[in-house]
Amino acid sequence: VIRRLDDLPAAAATERGYCEGVGIQSFLMCPMYSNEMALGTLGIDAIRNQRDWSDQDIRRLRMVGEVIGNELIRKHLNLEIQDLKDRLEAENSYLREAVELSYSHDEIVGASKVIREMLKKIEQVAKTDSRVLIRGETGTGKGLVARAIHHLSGRSDKPLVSVNCAALSPTLIENELFGCERGAYTGALARQVGRFEIADGSTIFLDEVGELAPEVQAKLLRILEEGEFERLGSPKTHKVDVRMIAATNRDLEKAVAEGAFRQDLYFRLSVFPISVPPLRERREDIPMLVWSFIKEFEPAMGRVIERVPKPTMEALQNSDWRGNVRELRNVIERAMILGSGRVLQVDLPTGPTDTGESAPRTLAEVEEQHIRRVLEQVGWRVRGHGKAAELLGLNPSTLESRMKKLGLDRP
């Protein structure tokens, strides 16, 4: 309570100078508290005339301060509750999506030396919180390795949150990873919680991390270093505790040398690298994989397979599986659909000499024939899981550009 400026102590010379400058003769200031939390100060100034502030003035101002303070606390709590609701709804939505996904099998199939070595590495790193970089060609099962690491970890009680970095544009992937506020950009009609918030306390799997745009790489690096990020359109900083597993079918060292991928981000992602071997390096696992896929498809197809002819199995083992395990699975599924009876008959993918095509003479012809063959295999569908871009290990936009350049049009 300052009834006259002379009541101000000597240490308040700055405040006195301000009051004299604007004409304040006396004032009453009341700090606002709520549950022992200081929220700010409420004040009344007397200009031109000094005022002898009464006890009733003080009580009234304190009462107004309590009302405003409680309202501010209520608004703050409502915002926190809304944030929690948004996060819970986003997590429930993600869980529903995850449940709806159908995976080929829920464990890694194989007994070859390279698979046993890979499983040993999975067990070694799973119990830690170390970041893992999974390398491998398209279709080798990098996502399966990521799920195995998460399920063996101390975070397995929460869902593994997966993001395909190659499936979205730079703007959309940033929105997907970090979330956004309403109106952050054209079309942002509601607040969205990002995958990093959903994965707080759990694990996030960034598939095809090599496809991230430079600006997104910088934000990802900050999360790795500080565990912090901001939603698009918001200055508020969020802190998260997330274990990160990344996967790529690209040569990231080459991408770093070419300036397409940040070197500091590469080193932080590849704390513990795991290589998933291509199918041609584990041909002895093919019979186990074939029977695993047969058992998977039998209930849906209404068939029971008792035997796979030896020549068929040998042909499967000797085939060049460019699409790896995913391509093998597609071949078995197609055989289950087309065939009948208890013996599995398989039509293997044919090469250029089997189709009557003339041998290509130039690199462009080789590229055209290979892309055409893969497009025909998937019904000329470029985007999506198991479609042409993924099988070829290319960004969908890159593949569409090459198709246009080569004159490849859907028939």
Degrees, nearest 5: CA angle 70-76-82: 135
Tokens standing for 49?
Answer: 């005339």
Q: What are the pLDDT digits (tens) for 139-186? A: 999 999 999 999 999 999 999 999 998 887 777 888 888 887 776 666
Tokens standing for 169?
Answer: 């544009």
Identify the CA nearest to 127 among candidates 156, 107, 158, 163. Answer: 156
Tokens standing for 396?
Answer: 């969908």
Q: What are the pLDDT digits (tens) for 369-391? A: 778 888 877 778 888 877 788 77
Determine the average pLDDT of the residues in 260-287. Answer: 94
Q: What are the pLDDT digits (tens) for 107-131? A: 788 889 999 999 999 999 999 999 9
Determine the average pLDDT of the residues in 237-256. Answer: 92
Give the model's pLDDT for residue 38: 75
Identify the CA nearest to 282 among candidates 116, 105, 106. Answer: 116
Q: What is the DSSP letter of 283?
A: G
Residue percentage of the chain with pLDDT more than 70:
87
This prediction's pTM:
0.61
Identify the CA nearest to 139 among candidates 243, 41, 277, 270. Answer: 277
- Going from the C-alpha of 410 to that of each of 89, 143, 217, 360, 385, the distances in angstroms are 40, 30, 35, 21, 19
DSSP string, 85-132: HHHHHHHHHHHHHHHH---S-SS----SHHHHHHHHHHHHHHTS---E
Give the model's pLDDT for residue 104: 34
**Highest-confidence range of 277-281, 304-308, 350-354, 378-382, by mean pLDDT?**
277-281
Give the model's pLDDT for residue 30: 86
Identify the CA nearest to 369 among candidates 359, 381, 382. Answer: 359
Q: Say if CB 263 and CB 293 are below 8 A apart.
A: no
**Highest-confidence range of 83-87, 324-328, 383-387, by mean pLDDT?**
324-328
Rg (CA), the chain: 31
pLDDT confidence band for 362 (50 / 70 / 90): low
pLDDT confidence band for 103 (50 / 70 / 90): very low
Taking phi over 0 as left and psi of -120 to 50 as alpha, with beta for the rest, 305 belongs to beta
Q: Say if CB 276 and CB 140 are below 8 A apart.
A: yes
Give the model's pLDDT for residue 338: 86
Q: What is the DSSP letter of 307?
A: B
Of 42-51, 99-108, 177-186, 352-361, the poorest mean pLDDT is in 352-361
**Highest-confidence range of 57-61, 272-276, 379-383, by mean pLDDT?**
272-276
Q: Say if CB 143 and CB 205 are below 8 A apart.
A: yes
d(C-alpha 293, C-alpha 307), whole Å: 13
Mean residue pLDDT of the chain comes to 83
d(C-alpha 141, C-alpha 144), whole Å: 5
- Going from the C-alpha of 188 to that of each of 192, 198, 353, the distances in angstroms are 8, 19, 52
